[in-house]
């Protein structure tokens, strides 16, 4: 049987490694959570990738638009003190 490409063919590109998206080096918890969802992407059908990337985009945009002071401040009770 004749092979279509020889192993030494310089036009053959190796399959890229899937990016490691565990979020361990990301300090913002919202961003880490959004990026960690990428770990599920290799198991999803290709037809679902667009929706997954759209959700990632929306989550990252929401994290970008959040005020870090609101996230870091303690929750206040009805009297204005810490709850």
Tens-place pLDDT, residues 29-77: 888 888 888 888 888 999 999 999 999 999 999 999 987 766 554 555 5
Confidence at residue 81, expressed as pLDDT on a 0 to 100 scale: 58
More confident residue, 22 or 11: 11
Confidence at residue 6, expressed as pLDDT on a 0 to 100 scale: 56
Rounded Cα distance, 50 and 56, in Å? 10
For residue 9, CA distances in Å to 4, 17, 55 come to 10, 20, 39
- What are the structural domain ranges in the chain? 29-67
Residue 21: pLDDT over 80? no
SS3 for 9-50 is CCCCCCCCCCCCCCCCCCCCHHHHHHHHHHHHHHHCCHHHHH
């Amino acid at each position: 049987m004749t092979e279509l490409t020889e192993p030494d063919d310089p036009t053959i590109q190796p399959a890229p490694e899937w990016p490691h998206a565990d979020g361990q080096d990301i300090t913002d918890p919202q961003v880490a959570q959004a990026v960690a969802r990428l770990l599920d992407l290799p198991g999803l059908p290709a037809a679902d990738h667009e929706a997954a990337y759209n959700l990632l985009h929306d989550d990252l945009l929401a994290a970008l638009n959040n005020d870090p002071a609101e996230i870091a401040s303690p929750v206040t009770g009805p009297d204005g003190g810490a709850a």
